[in-house]
Amino acid sequence: VNVNGCAIALGHPLGATGAKLTVQLLSEMKRRKNKYGMVTMCIGTGQGAAGIFEML
């Protein structure tokens, strides 16, 4: 769930979803003072990936 709304399709090339969403997640974790966050992403041609981050 994108807690801030908006489309992820705006302003990034194919294959850059992971970088865009990861930076957005880390920024939001810092703003909300969250310890953990998860991001899922399309990496092109029907593939996907996921990552769980811990703020240290």
Nearest to 42 by CA among 23, 20, 24: 20
pLDDT tens per residue across span 1-56: 677 776 666 556 676 777 888 898 999 999 999 999 999 887 777 888 899 999 99
Number of domains in the chain: 1
CB 39, CB 21: distance < 8 Å: yes
Domain around 21: 1-56
Q: pTM for this one? A: 0.74
Ramachandran angles phi, psi of 36, nearest 5°: -125, 150
Please say whether the beta carbons of 33 and 27 come within 8 A: no
The pLDDT, as a whole number, for residue 11 is: 59
